[in-house]
Structure 1
Amino acid sequence: MDKTSKTSDDSARVAGSQHHQIDFGYEMIDEEKKVEKVREVFDSVAPKYDLMNDLLSFGTHRLWKRRCISEARVERGMKVLDIASGTGDLALALAGRAGHGNVVASDINHEMLEIGAKRLAAAGTGAAVVEADAEQLPFEDNVFDVVTVSFGIRNMTHKDRALREMLRVLRPGGRLLVLEFSRCQRWLKPFYDFYSFVFMPWAGSKIAGDGPSYRYLAESIRMHPDQKTFAGMMSEAGFADVKWHNLTFGICALHIGTKAS
């Protein structure tokens, strides 16, 4: 091997060994570390997650989820997958419509999912609970009539991979509903920024004993694509008839897409 070839090979190896950088809030980290860092955040906030959701949204998150459930149009006997199910509140409501044993609740975070599993079992839903990475779903193709994900996709390392997996497990004609924080109207931004970067970490510190995790959650909202960009990502992943509804002046958005028949 001549010297030039060896130098080129060495450079290629160095380039190949470098990890891609990805956002963790406003911090850039190696992409393979994001899952663990997100897990640490949700391990920390899990015990008071529902309480903090109610306090920080003044209960509005329940109205947003109610809209998601209504738009899902779940009927008895439908198979439903709730991704990033967390403590299971959306899965619980969906189970009431789909019927016993027709809902699967999945999440990558064990601590959050454990709370959700207890809640779903106590309600007698018959829901399956699966600890899984949304980027590598452990389900066959064309299984579910509806897939939902609420306030989870912004924390995923590769949103495009996750969206393709959601498309894969949906049956033709099935629907994906993504409920997520988005871009609020411009007039609201100064107030929302103060709330997000001052009040949220303060409340997280005082009530949940973890200000930094709530700072990350606020930052992750700002790093998530806006409504139009995310709709484009859904279309690129293969979803048809993609649309969105702005909720509470765009603080939250509900995106809906269909798997072509």
Structure 2
Amino acid sequence: MLYTPRMTIPRVGDQHSQTDQQRKADDVQAMFASIAHRYDLLNRVLSLGVDRGWRRAAAQEALLLHPHDLLDVATGTADFALELKRRSPATTVTGSDFVPQMLDIGRAKARTQHLDIRLEEGDALHLPYPDASFDTVTCAFGFRNFSDYARGLAEFWRVLRPGGRCVILEFPPPAPGVFGSIFRFYFQHILPRIGGLVSGNAGAYTYLPESVLAFPAPDRLAGLMVATGFRTRYRLLTFGIAAIHVGDKR
């Protein structure tokens, strides 16, 4: 669906001081560093493997315009970046993340899979790339960790070339209704226990449901993208557990 906002949506990051934003960034960085070695396994276990289908759907959107240069922000262990490279060998794929331990695992995976991608350390709110460097920017399950969503979207816009595309794959808050209630219970009570048992860091998987519940609803995120300048549409996946937002720089 194409989204057109009916009202001006406030910039989410404006309510936080720079100190609060830096504290959140530091906490998120330390948390993901501590679970990097089990991150891929936990994704498969906790999503029952459904996340692979979500990534395939997002990859189709990201590659639809046949990008020459693609940036995957908050790439983590590079699962999505590698998926994109497999699907489009001619595309130059760069993954950026601010957790070195995650990037080290991603580089090892790329070598094992014989896929040539660049993995570089960088802050999503201050991307280390010139203006108009990429045809497509993607972010899979990392955007909700940004301390300032509006700033992150502005950076996506800045590094995109005119006519470029932004694709965000993320967990929206559970929708009202029976399924949403079941999913909320799973996220708040079951997921932290499984995640803590497998990873050894219960706090990391307490943070996950908290970050999802605090994330903007799909229409609100679409509004933030429109306010940035994107022509935006989105669709829900698996009864609304995940959502793909597509923004075109036109």
* TM-score calculated relative to the size of structure 1: 0.85
Moved more, 29-38 or 218-227: 29-38
Q: How does 1:204-215 map to 2 (within 5 A)?
A: 204-215=195-206
Give the Cα–Cα distance (whole angstroms) in 1 for the partners of residues 237 and 125 of structure 2. Answer: 27
Tell me, yes or no, if the aligned pair for 1:46 and 1:111 is still in contact at 8 Å: yes
Larger RCO (CA under 8 A, 6+ residues apart): 2
Which consecutive unaligned segments of at least 5 residues does structure 1 have? 1-19, 23-28
Tell me, yes or no, if the aligned pair for 2:172 and 2:218 is still in contact at 8 Å: yes
Q: How does 1:1-261 map to 2 (within 5 A)?
A: 21=16, 30-74=20-64, 78-99=68-89, 102-186=92-176, 187-240=178-231, 242-260=232-250
Give the Cα–Cα distance (whole angstroms) in 2 for the partners of residues 77 and 31 of structure 1. Answer: 32
Cα deviations by residue, 1:115-152 (Å, 9 ceiling, x for unpaired):
11221233332211110011111111112111110000
Change in 2 beyond 3 A, CA 1:74/1:131 = farther
| Alpha-carbon offset, residue 100 of structure 1 | 5.5
| Alpha-carbon offset, residue 188 of structure 1 | 1.3
Give the Cα–Cα distance (whole angstroms) in 1 for the partners of residues 113 and 91 of structure 2. Answer: 12
Moved more, 188-197 or 79-88: 188-197
Moved more, 123-132 or 36-45: 123-132
Percentage of matched positions with identical amino acids? 38
Tell me, yes or no, if the aligned pair for 2:67 and 2:135 is still in contact at 8 Å: no
| Alpha-carbon offset, residue 38 of structure 1 | 0.3
Point out the structure with max Rg over C-alpha. Answer: 1
State the SS of the aligned residue for 2:106. helix
Tell me, yes or no, if the aligned pair for 1:34 and 1:157 is still in contact at 8 Å: yes
State the SS of the aligned residue for 1:216. helix
Give, as a single letter, the amino acid of the residue that structure 1 aligns with 2:207.
Y
Give, as a single letter, the amino acid of the residue that structure 2 aligns with 1:38.
V
Q: CA RMSD in A?
A: 1.9
Change in 2 beyond 3 A, CA 1:70/1:39 = same
State the SS of the aligned residue for 1:30. helix
Give the Cα–Cα distance (whole angstroms) in 2 for the partners of residues 101 and 63 of structure 1. Answer: 21
Give the Cα–Cα distance (whole angstroms) in 2 for the partners of residues 97 and 170 of structure 1. Answer: 21
Give, as a single letter, the amino acid of the residue that structure 2 aligns with 1:123.
Q
Give, as a single letter, the amino acid of the residue that structure 1 aligns with 2:249.
K
Give, as a single letter, the amino acid of the residue that structure 1 aligns with 2:190.
F
Give the Cα–Cα distance (whole angstroms) in 1 for the partners of residues 141 and 187 of structure 2. Answer: 15
| Alpha-carbon offset, residue 237 of structure 1 | 1.2
Runs of 4+ in 1 over 3 A off after TM superposition: 74-77
Tell me, yes or no, if the aligned pair for 1:79 and 1:98 is still in contact at 8 Å: no
Tell me, yes or no, if the aligned pair for 2:46 and 2:195 is still in contact at 8 Å: no
Give the Cα–Cα distance (whole angstroms) in 1 for the partners of residues 144 and 84 of structure 2. Answer: 22
Give the Cα–Cα distance (whole angstroms) in 2 for the partners of residues 204 and 142 of structure 1. Answer: 39
Q: Which residue of 2 aligns with 1:14?
A: none
State the SS of the aligned residue for 1:103. strand
State the SS of the aligned residue for 2:127. coil
Give the Cα–Cα distance (whole angstroms) in 2 for the partners of residues 202 and 110 of structure 1. Answer: 26
How many pairs does the alignment contain? Answer: 235
Give, as a single letter, the amino acid of the residue that structure 1 aligns with 2:52.
R
Tell me, yes or no, if the aligned pair for 2:135 and 2:160 is still in contact at 8 Å: yes
State the SS of the aligned residue for 1:188. helix
Which consecutive unaligned segments of at least 5 residues does structure 2 have? 1-14
| Alpha-carbon offset, residue 205 of structure 1 | 2.1
Give the Cα–Cα distance (whole angstroms) in 2 for the partners of residues 174 and 154 of structure 1. Answer: 22
